[in-house]
């Protein structure tokens, strides 16, 4: 399978009054054409930071931004801002931001908002053309055309989520980053959005990076899974294998905490809290919460090793060092 995106040694640190926040700390992975790669982990582990780093849509307080982001054999981290905006963003790689459905402009009609986004990305279009494309994009996400004349407050949560998905797809990108696209929705609406995403992926041959803290939702879509903890990748591999036989103690805990219907099993939770990314624990960042922590875990960071089927960064395993 061919790789449509390769991320190598990506770092994104923020400057704050308290110190430098190492939100994304040297992560590498690849996205195959046509696959869904789920990125999972607890709140604050750096998932959204990783996403904005891929899009190069960075906040002002960036301290360090490094690594390479190769899309279709081109390193977009080296492109100048103008080329990036003209050729790459929204056209090759686009994103539905976390909470985007709640950031729609309350005083503008839906059709106008999609058209405006379009005009910003494609200066050659006339207003009329942009509005016509906006209406067509509503059809793509199975919303009736009259929605174009409605205001955000007239729409349900599921409809608003469809609108922001339409906005991300309007310039026909190949790669779409979805940051918690179903988190604010009830379970039935969640299922509808997941089905919509599956259909769009098949129809348009899209590749997804699907970010969620919810492993049950991730299991619906994911071909492969990246597990993040404290700004790092701790496990990475085929979804079925990760769900059936998780290797990293953190992944094991996450999976044991997924609720199942009418089960007698006591749900596990992970004691303690994710690390402070200004001053993370030395060695393995998970060691203070890990039931298997050994001496080495407290002093030396485990490398990301190739395990039998995937990669894992944990001193419990031995294998060939990858990076």
Ligand X SMILES: Nc1ncnc2c1ncn2[C@@H]1O[C@H](COP(=O)(O)OP(=O)(O)OP(=O)(O)O)[C@@H](O)[C@H]1O
Q: Which is nearer to ligand X, 45 or 307 (CB)?
A: 45
Q: Which two tokens stand for residue 11?
A: 């770092």
Separation CA 31–CA 93 (nearest Å)? 12
Q: Which two tokens stand for residue 17?
A: 């009054």
Which of the choices ligand X, Mg ion, none does residue 45 contact, using the CB cut-off of 5 to 8 A by kind?
A: ligand X
Q: Which is nearer to Mg ion, 95 or 307 (CB)?
A: 95
Binding mask 47-86 for ligand X (x = CB under 6 A): xxx---------x-x-------------------------
Q: Which two tokens stand for residue 320?
A: 């060939």
Q: Which two tokens stand for residue 76?
A: 């977009």
Supply the DSSP symbol for 268.
P
Q: Is 23 in the site for ligand X (CB under 6 A)?
A: yes
Q: Which is nearer to ligand X, 141 or 215 (CB)?
A: 215
Ordered DSSP codes for 144-195:
-GGGGGS-GGGS-HHHHHHHHHHHHHTT--SEEEEESTTTTS-HHHHHHHHH
Q: Is 226 in the site for ligand X (CB under 6 A)?
A: no
Q: Which is nearer to ligand X, 2 or 43 (CB)?
A: 43
Q: Is 46 in the site for ligand X (CB under 6 A)?
A: yes
Q: Is 175 in the site for ligand X (CB under 6 A)?
A: no
Name the segment binding ligand X (CB under 6 A); options: 15-23, 80-88, 129-137, 153-161. Answer: 15-23
Q: Is 308 in the site for ligand X (CB under 6 A)?
A: no
Q: Which is nearer to ligand X, 40 or 147 (CB)?
A: 40
Per CB under 6 A, contacts with ligand X among 83-112 are: 98
- Paired strand residues for 31: 5
Q: What are phi and psi of 134, to 5 degrees?
A: -60, -45
Which of the choices ligand X, Mg ion, none does residue 182 contact, using the CB cut-off of 5 to 8 A by kind?
A: none
One of 4, 7, 10, 21 touching ligand X (CB under 6 A): 21
The answer to whether the CB of 29 falls within 8 A of the CB of 226 is: yes
Q: Is 272 in the site for ligand X (CB under 6 A)?
A: no
Nearest residue to 218 via CA among 91, 203, 246? 246
Which of the choices ligand X, Mg ion, none does residue 13 contact, using the CB cut-off of 5 to 8 A by kind?
A: none
Helix axes 110-121, 157-169, angle to 10 degrees: 20
One of 10, 44, 143, 225 touching ligand X (CB under 6 A): 44
Which of the choices Mg ion, ligand X, none does residue 46 contact, using the CB cut-off of 5 to 8 A by kind?
A: ligand X
Separation CA 127–CA 68 (nearest Å)? 37
The region that residue 44 occupies, defined by phi over 0 for left and psi between -120 and 50 for alpha, beta otherwise, is: left
Ordered DSSP codes for 85-154:
IIIIBTTTEEEE-TTGGG-S-TTS-HHHHHHHHHHHH-TTS-HHHHHHHHHHHHHHTT--GGGGGS-GGG
Q: Which is nearer to ligand X, 275 or 310 (CB)?
A: 275
Q: Nearest residue to Mg ion, using CB? A: 48
Q: Is 18 in the site for ligand X (CB under 6 A)?
A: no
Separation CA 53–CA 36 (nearest Å)? 19
Q: Which residues bind Mg ion (CB under 5 A)?
A: 47-48, 98
Q: Is 266 in the site for ligand X (CB under 6 A)?
A: no
Q: Is 4 in the site for ligand X (CB under 6 A)?
A: no
Binding positions for ligand X, rule: CB under 6 A: 14, 16, 21, 23, 41, 43-49, 59, 61, 98, 213, 277
């Amino acid at each position: 399978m061919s790789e449509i995106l390769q991320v190598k040694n990506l770092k994104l640190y923020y400057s704050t009054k308290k110190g430098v926040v190492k939100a994304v700390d040297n992560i590498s992975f690849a996205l195959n054409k046509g696959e869904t790669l789920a990125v999972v982990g607890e709140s604050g582990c750096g998932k959204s930071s990783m996403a904005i780093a891929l899009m190069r849509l960075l906040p002002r307080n960036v301290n360090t931004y490094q690594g390479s982001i190769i899309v279709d054999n081109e390193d977009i981290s080296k492109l100048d801002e103008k080329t990036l905006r003209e050729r790459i963003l929204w056209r090759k790689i686009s994103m539905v931001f976390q909470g985007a459905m709640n950031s729609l402009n309350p005083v503008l009609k839906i059709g106008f908002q999609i058209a405006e986004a379009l005009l910003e990305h494609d200066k050659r279009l006339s207003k009329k053309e942009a509005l016509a494309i906006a209406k067509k994009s509503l059809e793509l996400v199975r919303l009736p055309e009259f929605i174009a004349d409605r205001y955000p407050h007239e729409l349900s949560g599921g409809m608003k989520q469809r609108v922001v998905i339409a906005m991300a797809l309007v310039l026909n990108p190949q790669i779409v980053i979805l940051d918690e696209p179903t988190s604010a929705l009830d379970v039935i609406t969640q299922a509808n959005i997941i089905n919509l995403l599956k259909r769009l992926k098949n129809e348009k041959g899209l590749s997804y990076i699907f970010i969620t803290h919810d492993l049950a939702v991730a299991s619906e879509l994911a071909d492969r899974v990246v597990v993040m903890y404290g700004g790092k990748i701790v496990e990475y591999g085929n979804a079925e294998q990760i769900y059936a036989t998780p290797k990293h103690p953190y992944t094991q805990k996450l999976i044991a905490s997924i609720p199942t219907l009418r089960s007698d099993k006591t749900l596990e939770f992970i004691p303690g809290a994710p690390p402070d990314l200004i001053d993370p624990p030395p060695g393995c960042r998970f060691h203070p919460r890990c039931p298997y922590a050994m001496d080495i875990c407290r002093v030396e960071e485990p490398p990301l090793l190739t395990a039998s089927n995937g990669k894992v960064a944990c001193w419990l395993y031995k294998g060939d060092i990858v990076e």
